[in-house]
Structure formats: structure tokens, C-alpha cells
């Protein structure tokens, strides 16, 4: 067994296609199939359901796949740790961010890339539950998520700024003047919202319901880009993070502050506590701490 076999297994899971997995790994399809069969023979387990095409993993294959991801993450972490000991940072920083976060990771990534040009980034939009799960299983290095009910024995965190909310609209279709809007005024508007259960939506619902208001959204979606498209097209307005920079996406979008509008919980930069801990995550954590204490 070697690292390449585990990479082949993960590539097959991500592409769900033998040919595409082989192309991603820069090998031929017969070579991929042969190496995976060798892995099955060594483990004495069938891992892949084969027909004329890929038909998924067996139950043992799914369990081995989870271990393969853990081993590969540890291998990448070892390489990054060795580079860090030499004074360099290499590899890929895997960062998960909750939808509609007011924290813009771009400045942090730009600073890291400036200091460590060989560093690469993988940015994922995930729910708060997915972020904690993937941090715990070492599939993410860092997360930006809500600190509500965070297990401080398992995770380190740095609190980020308070997330204030505003109304995003296209000025070609709506106009609201310069004063902050009330929640009572929003109830009369065509609103687009993320689907129920998402943390940002829960904060919106709380602000409405605590005032005895019950909005009937025109559009609900679990995709932020679809919500932005609907706002840009004039179909609706949407409650969004006030400091997230969304109004800079086009010249027509505006963000109007809403009175007394904050999310229920604060955001934080989160890192797992237990070893093996990513050297990339520790460097990013330290850089953010430094930026917050600098005059």
C-alpha cells in the first residue's frame, strides 16, 4: 500500500468515474484499475462496485475511504509541518466558511500568499455543523463559523467582529433614502431568503418574530448566488451581512442598514485543538491575531 493508491481511491470518489479519476491523477485508466485492485487484494476486501462503469463503493469501501482521507490529510500535514520547520509554508490551506459570513477571508489569504508564495488555498462554503465535523476529522484546517455552543475543549477560536445586517437591493428597482430601515418596513417588501435551518436565516427570523412580525418570503433558496441573482434582477430584496462587501459586486447594488440588526451569535475563526494540527492553520491563526493587535 502507498499514498498514491489512497489518492486514486479519493479521486474516484470525487469524480465517480474511472476515466476522469485517472485523468486527474495523470495516469491511464488501466493503471488506475490495476492499482485499486492491488489495494483490494492487500486488504482482502472488495472496495469498488464494478460494472460497465463505476457503480459506487461497497460498504467496506466507504469505511476504507474515510480512513484514506484521514491518512492523506496526515501525510499532507506532515509535509507542511516539515516545510514550516524549515521556515516555509507549502501545501493547501483548507478553509470552510458559513454562507453569508461578514468575514472576508480575502485579506488574510492575500497576506499569507505574499509571505508564502508556494501556499495554495481551498475555500468551501459549508454549514456550521459541516465545518466542525470536517475540522474534527482533519478535512479542514480552519473554519469561519458561529461560536454558539462551540466545544472549547476540542476547538480553539478567535472571535471576529459582530455581524450586522442590512437590506441588499438593486437601486434600478428600489429606493429607500439614507436612513436605516425598520424591521416593520421590511415586512411590506418582496423578500428573498436562505432556506429555514441555516444560521443566518435563523437570525433573520428571530428579529422578525421577536417583534411580532411574520414575513412571507417571495423566494427561498439554499444557494447564495441564486439569491444575489434574484436581487440583481429586481425580483426581491434580501437581508445580508452589512459589512460583507456584497454591494460592491455591481454598480447597481446597495446595502441599507437595518435598525438593531445583528446575528444571534458571533462568528469566530476556529481551529482544532488535538494533534495532528495543521501548521498552515497555526500560521493563519497567528497572522490574524497579529493583525488584530497591530496599532
For 235-292, the pLDDT digits (tens) are 999 999 887 778 888 899 999 999 988 888 888 999 998 877 777 888 888 888 777 7
pLDDT of residue 294: 57
Closest CA to 270 of 144, 160, 93: 144
Indicate the range of 41-45, 96-100, 203-207 predicted with least confidence: 96-100
Model pLDDT, residue 108? 81
8 A C-beta contact, residue 255 and residue 246? yes
> pLDDT of 130-169, one tens digit each?
999 888 877 888 999 888 878 988 999 988 878 889 999 9
pLDDT at 172: 95
- Tell me which DSSP letter residue 255 carries: E
Q: What is the pLDDT of residue 73?
A: 76
> What is the average pLDDT score of the chain?
87
E strand or H helix that includes residue 281: helix 279-293
Per-residue model confidence (pLDDT) at position 197: 76
Poorest-pLDDT segment among 51-60, 78-87, 188-197 = 78-87
User: Region 110-136: what's the mean pLDDT?
Assistant: 87
Report the percentage of the chain scoring pLDDT > 90.
42
Instruction: Say if residue 200 is preceded by a cis peptide, omega within 30 of 0.
Output: no
Smallest CA-to-CA distance from 269 within 158, 170, 124 is with 158
pLDDT at residue 295, as a whole number: 55
Pairing of strands 253-262, 237-241: unpaired
Distance (Å, rounded) from C-alpha 102 to C-alpha 111?
Answer: 19
pLDDT digits (tens, 9 = 90+) for 199-241: 888 889 999 999 999 999 999 998 888 999 999 999 999 999 8
Alpha helix segments (H runs only) across 52-121: 59-85, 106-115
Mutual angle of helices 29-43 and 3-15, in 10-degree steps: 110
Q: What is the pLDDT of residue 293?
A: 67
Average pLDDT over residues 93-120: 84
Contact predicate 189/170, CB 8 Å: no
Q: Output DSSP code: residue 244.
A: S
Q: Residue 71: which of 4, 14, 119 has the closest Cα?
A: 4
Could you tell me the pLDDT band of residue 173, with boundaries at 50, 70 and 90? very high
Distance CA 74, CA 63 (A): 17
Residue 188 CB-density burial (10 A; 0-12 exposed, 13-18 middle, 19+ buried): exposed
Amino acid at each position: 500500500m502507498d499514498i498514491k493508491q489512497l489518492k486514486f481511491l479519493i479521486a474516484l470518489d470525487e469524480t465517480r468515474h474511472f476515466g476522469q479519476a485517472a485523468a486527474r491523477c495523470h495516469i491511464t485508466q488501466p493503471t488506475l484499475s490495476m492499482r485499486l485492485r492491488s489495494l483490494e487484494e492487500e486488504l482482502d476486501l472488495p472496495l469498488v462496485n464494478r460494472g460497465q462503469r463505476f457503480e459506487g463503493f461497497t460498504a467496506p469501501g466507504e469505511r476504507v475511504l474515510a480512513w484514506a482521507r484521514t491518512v492523506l490529510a496526515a501525510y499532507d500535514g506532515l509535509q507542511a509541518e516539515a516545510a514550516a520547520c524549515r521556515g516555509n509554508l507549502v501545501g493547501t490551506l483548507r478553509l470552510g466558511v458559513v454562507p453569508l459570513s461578514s468575514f472576508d477571508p480575502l485579506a488574510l489569504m492575500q497576506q499569507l500568499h505574499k509571505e508564502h508564495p508556494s501556499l495554495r488555498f481551498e475555500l468551501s462554503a459549508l454549514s456550521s455543523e459541516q465545518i466542525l465535523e470536517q475540522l474534527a476529522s482533519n478535512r479542514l484546517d480552519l473554519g469561519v463559523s458561529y461560536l454558539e455552543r462551540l466545544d472549547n475543549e476540542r476547538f480553539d477560536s478567535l472571535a471576529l467582529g459582530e455581524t450586522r445586517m442590512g437590506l441588499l437591493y438593486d437601486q434600478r428597482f428600489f429606493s429607500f433614502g439614507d436612513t436605516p430601515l425598520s424591521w416593520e418596513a421590511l415586512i411590506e417588501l418582496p423578500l428573498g431568503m436562505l432556506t429555514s435551518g441555516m444560521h443566518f436565516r435563523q437570525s433573520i427570523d428571530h428579529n422578525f418574530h421577536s417583534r411580532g412580525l411574520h414575513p412571507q418570503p417571495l423566494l427561498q433558496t439554499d444557494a447564495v448566488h441564486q439569491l444575489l441573482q434574484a436581487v440583481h434582477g429586481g425580483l426581491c430584496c434580501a437581508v445580508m451581512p452589512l459589512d460583507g462587501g456584497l454591494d460592491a459586486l455591481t454598480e447597481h447594488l446597495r446595502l441599507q442598514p437595518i435598525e438593531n440588526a445583528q446575528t444571534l451569535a458571533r462568528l469566530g475563526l476556529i481551529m482544532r485543538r488535538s494533534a495532528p494540527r495543521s501548521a498552515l492553520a497555526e500560521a493563519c491563526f497567528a497572522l490574524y491575531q497579529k493583525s488584530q493587535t497591530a496599532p
